[in-house]
Structure 1
Amino acid sequence: MLPPEPTATPDALFNQSLAKGLQVLCAFQAGHRSLTLGDIAARTGMTKASAQRSVHTLQRLGYIGKHPSTQRFGLLPRVVELGFNYLEAHPLIAAAHSYLAQLARDSGETATLTEHNGDHMVYLAQVLTTQHIPVLTPVGTQVPMYASSCGRAYLSQWPDAQAQPWLERMPRPARTRATLTQVPDILARLQRCRDTGYATNCEELFLGDMGIAAPVLNLRGQVVGAVHVAPPTSRWRMDDAQARLAPLVVECARAISRLAPL
């Protein structure tokens, strides 16, 4: 997901050059690991000259490299430092680690801590299962709020008067045939989460993948994240997963909530 275009509202402190550099970094994604200068300009909406200046600067700083034979650009490992610095200093991750490990051990499935980021939930911390998982979703993965169990768990802590316009504004493409895209249907799932304490998703993001999530609250009762497990359909039926895994997920989220910073 590329960062939003700079607002048209005058802002004397806004640094256009820095914004363009960040747009260039965000242009590289899983499906676009290497890009030509023209590709970068097209994906960021910049002129080729402007893109070239940003790319050159990022090259000099060690964030972007150029393949000697293909002449295509790609991210370099130094980019990882930017994300790692955020994760290393995040107090919720330290509070959650032991509980995620226990959830993974007790459930036999991968346990993940997520946080709200725009229209998405971003994976902050994860303890992997030793069993087969059909979809690789490492730390840093972003999933849309409307179709993910963690996103629904997070949104369930908002009143419908706040959640409904948020959902109506965001793009809601069908990721699979099972994806709920209509706002009333999603609002009904949010209400179910309020009633049960957990949210679900069955093959709405990825085929063969389910999700069961519960919200994480701080001591003020404000939602700050969500915990989820991703049981695959090859090992679980949704009814069984809800009966056996949902109580574990809810308890994990509550334990983390007791330590969540304000």
Structure 2
Amino acid sequence: MTKVVVITGASSGIGAAAALKFHQQGFNIVLAGRNEARLSSLASTLPNSVMWTGDIAQSAACNALIKFTLASFGRIDVLINCAGIIYRSTATDTSDSQWLDTISVNLNAPFYLSRAAIPHMTENGGTILNIASDWGLKGGELAAAYCASKGGLVLLTKAMAIDHAKDKIRINAICPGDVDTPMLEIESAQRGIDYKTAMVDNNADSLTGRITQPDEVAALCLYLASDCAAQITGTAISIDGGNTA
């Protein structure tokens, strides 16, 4: 039976890279996101994929995505909660709407989707991967809401892993540092910094001398979803060029 992966935030960055990696391994893929044009463009290159657009900040939409997956492929084996947003500001400069947006997308959506998916994974087992951040393990400048959301996601991951190990479901958090994605470019714009300048600074901060590429995070997703990672659950794995060291 062909396995099925659901990827949120699939229209660009880590999500799009993960879609390509899982396609190469023969998975059926559900590409979920809000940018219909970009999703459609990606889906056209992946014959084993279907696309779904909606606002996963709403629990009803998350339920609808899981129902769509089951209607399309009849099962769900891997859920990758990759969608994320960031507002670069201190707590005092963060508006109510920015706080709520950040928590809704970065923390509520993975909870809603996991809650909806888990009952359909128990028969065959499954894997949930939450794309958190190294700022879910430590604090970061001008990122109060983001750090709170990603820190919450790390502990949500651990709690769910404890609860659902008996259901043959492994749940892990992946904690990237800076990754060369459109989100990093958005962050630079929010801070009024030229993207090329930001890249130089970010590369200098890494022990390896460069920032992480999306396909490197995608490769870690593929490994954690494989049988090779059968003993890995309830953990937060950094992929940040040694930044958290």
| TM-score scaled by length of structure 2 | 0.28
| TM-score scaled by length of structure 1 | 0.27
Q: Which has the higher helix share?
A: 2
**Of the two, which has the highest radius of gyration?**
1
RCO higher in 1 or 2 (8 Å CA, sep ≥ 6)?
A: 2
